[in-house]
Structure 1
Amino acid sequence: MKHVDYIIVGCGLAGIAFCEELRALGKTFCVFDNNSQQSSLVAAGLYNPVILKRFTKVWKSKEQLALLDFYYTRLEKLLDVKLDYKFPILRKFSSVEEQNLWFQATDKPGLEPYLSLDIKKNTNPNIEANFGFGTVKSTGRIETSRLIYHYKKYLKSINVLIEETFDYSVLVSEETSVIYKDYTSKHIVFAEGFGIRNNPFFNHLPLYGTKGEVLTIKAPKLQLDYAIKSSVFIIPEGNDTYRVGSTYNRDDKTNKPTVAGKKELVSKLETLMTCEYEIIDHKAGVRPTVKDRRPLIGRHHQHQSIYLLNGLGSRGVMVSPYISKQLYAFIEHNEPLNPEINCNRFNP
């Protein structure tokens, strides 16, 4: 038997963040992943402390941003790749009324550091924005697909990645440990994203999943070094390519791109951008979204060594380091979980 401190199931943004917490603190672990979940790979990777539809603060945004630079800088050094690209996000205004709502939002508690008081005029001839933009600060993009690819490569190099589908039926839960095939461990953490629907220990929880589709376009004339948020995001990725997204579909739970999703994105894009472009990629994934828009972390209500790290929604690059620390402190030091994110808030 092989003994580790932790078994982790899932190697998306949540699983990687928890691995990093363990690695930094000298814990041993292994990771099971079958590449079935696409949301972390498809994610645009924006980090942004403001909900731009309503001009409100993201939950625990200050605490999340405080960890972000250190976390991704450490990953860049470990993997020897560039992951963090900092640039502002410009929120397009559609009217004077929206401009006024923006100025009102700058007085809201916690938003002042992130919202510029200046209205930025549009100077790009290929963008339609007659009422200008509001600038959001402390923002940028994490290259999520590059992170996942290189992190899995790293896990393989240290012989802790097992690329197979996890078989829940052979997991043995004891009072202070778990046994899975040839492994024994003090704890097991499920970080499977929408894959939770197949997990008999946690599939009772209200993680519904929201499908998102994104396009990658090539637009040499656009020349943006910032992201724009209107009815869609346009996010620069370098070499005249841009990510355009995203759709929100609560009914379709597949990772397959659709004609309808593509049409929706193209229609919205063309109300914002006027230059020629070429669609070079179209992807889809199901985000792990929860009905109250809070993560799901904590211990199973009956099995003392089984834990959950899930429900990151569309903000995985920001929230994953923060909730991984919360879960680790809960497991190792018995520090109480915030009731807002404790998965047991939904138990009978």
Structure 2
Amino acid sequence: MVDYIVVGFGLAGLSFVDKLESNDKSYLVYENSSEQSSRVAGGLYNPVILKRFTLAWLASEQLELAISVYQNIEDKLKGSLISKLPILRRFNDVKEQNLWFEAYDKPLLNKFLSSNLIKNENEALDIPFCFGKVKHTGKIDVKKMLSLYLSYIEDKKCLIKESFEYDKLVVKEGLVEYKGIKARNLVFSEGYGVRNNPFFNYLPLQGNKGEYIIIKSEQLKLSEAVKSSIFIIPLGDDLYKVGATYNNQDKTSGITKSARENLQNKLERFLKVEYEVIDQVTGIRPTTRDRRPFVGTHSQYKNLHIINGLGSRGILIGPYVTEKLYAHIENGEDLDEEIDIKRYSKLR
């Protein structure tokens, strides 16, 4: 008997497993590495929606918790995972500059937005209308974090590298049984893979395919993340991640020529130096129609739970909804209506 079985190990699964670790709960993780959205994510933590200069959902609360959680993970895994990284928003015109200053005047936003226009000094970039700087931002090396954490739980004999077979699950009063293993609770954190889950596939997960290109440019010499219509994220060694696309129609797993061309066209509108595309990566983000995650307990089976639908802001949202779900399961605390899967009970 273990306390928990966790199915899926992206950002949601990692956050929940780390919460179990900190509370001395026993667990087993089933992971088949079929969903890649967390592993290819840009990794930025950023409290501001830079298209509209608005604060992301519960950004202040989520940011403080997330940084604390990732710092503890960094210490536990003994690997460098967190780096401070300024984000510079390229203004397209004077109108956008004015909108930035209007946003700065709002009480909840001014702690995250610089009040100064930043003149571009990088000759590799075409930035005629200056930058705005977002404060309290940085980058998590998500791919490295997931890899190190998987190795950590594998060393503890808590990882089973195989697909979860739903038809082998037996749900009983007070426990679940799966292939001879008993657990008090089971948490599904499968990302877009939840579409195959017979217990939770009624939830309207939309899925949004994102593609990045990795470029090499010795002339760019960029030490900040730059946001225009796309992000340029420095990776070190003259490498940069550029993206991402947002495609809610294509649910295939492969990279596409059209996405690469789209990203290059946007990049070349303001990049003035030569570069080489050396890689392209893709994943399907688990997005929801109301832009709120799926968190909660099955209406019939009280020891089956879900944490999913983190979308493109999983780095910030993951630790926050983990806290909520853990308190719900262990202490019987009610979930906030905006994240509770009960809001879709009519779809069952």
Instruction: Give the TM bin, normalised by the shorter chain.
Output: over 0.9
Question: Aligned partners of 1:211, 1:25: CA distance in 2, in Å?
Answer: 35
Contact preservation (8 Å) 1:114, 1:137: yes
Per-residue CA deviation, residues 292-315 of structure 1 (Å, 9 max, x unaligned), is: 101110001111000000011001
Question: Which residue of structure 2 lines up, in the alignment, with residue 249 of structure 1?
Answer: 247
Taking structure 2 as the reference length, the TM-score comes to 0.98
Identity in percent: 49
1:72 CA drift (Å): 1.2
Matches within 5 A, 1:190-339: 190-339=188-337
Question: Which residue of structure 2 lines up, in the alignment, with residue 92 of structure 1?
Answer: 90
The CA RMSD over aligned residues, in Å, is 0.8
Structure 1 runs of 4+ aligned residues shifted over 2 Å read none
Question: Aligned partners of 2:89, 2:82: CA distance in 1, in Å?
Answer: 21
Question: Aligned partners of 2:93, 2:310: CA distance in 1, in Å?
Answer: 32
Alignment counterpart, residue 25 of structure 1, candidates 23, 26, 34: 23
Question: Aligned partners of 1:199, 1:140: CA distance in 2, in Å?
Answer: 34
The aligned length equals: 346
Q: Which amino acid aligns with 1:95?
A: D
Q: Secondary structure at the match of 1:26?
A: coil
Question: Aligned partners of 1:16, 1:205: CA distance in 2, in Å?
Answer: 22
1:225 CA drift (Å): 1.0
Per-residue CA deviation, residues 83-125 of structure 1 (Å, 9 max, x unaligned), is: 1111110011000000000000112241111001101111110
1:68 CA drift (Å): 2.2
Question: Aligned partners of 2:317, 2:51: CA distance in 1, in Å?
Answer: 19
Q: Which amino acid aligns with 1:4?
A: V
Question: Aligned partners of 1:179, 1:108: CA distance in 2, in Å?
Answer: 52
1:223 CA drift (Å): 0.9
Question: Which residue of structure 2 lines up, in the alignment, with residue 188 of structure 1?
Answer: 186
Gapped regions of structure 1 (runs ≥ 5): none
Gapped regions of structure 2 (runs ≥ 5): none
1:336 CA drift (Å): 1.1
Q: Which amino acid aligns with 1:111?
A: L
Contact preservation (8 Å) 1:10, 1:191: yes
Taking structure 1 as the reference length, the TM-score comes to 0.98
Q: Which amino acid aligns with 2:79?
A: V
Question: Aligned partners of 1:260, 1:189: CA distance in 2, in Å?
Answer: 37
1:71 CA drift (Å): 1.1
Q: Secondary structure at the match of 1:187?
A: strand
Question: Aligned partners of 2:253, 2:49: CA distance in 1, in Å?
Answer: 25
Per-residue CA deviation, residues 168-197 of structure 1 (Å, 9 max, x unaligned), is: 011111221111112111100000000010
Question: Which residue of structure 2 lines up, in the alignment, with residue 132 of structure 1?
Answer: 130
Question: Aligned partners of 1:228, 1:171: CA distance in 2, in Å?
Answer: 47
Matches within 5 A, 1:62-101: 62-101=60-99
Question: Which residue of structure 2 lines up, in the alignment, with residue 58 of structure 1?
Answer: 56
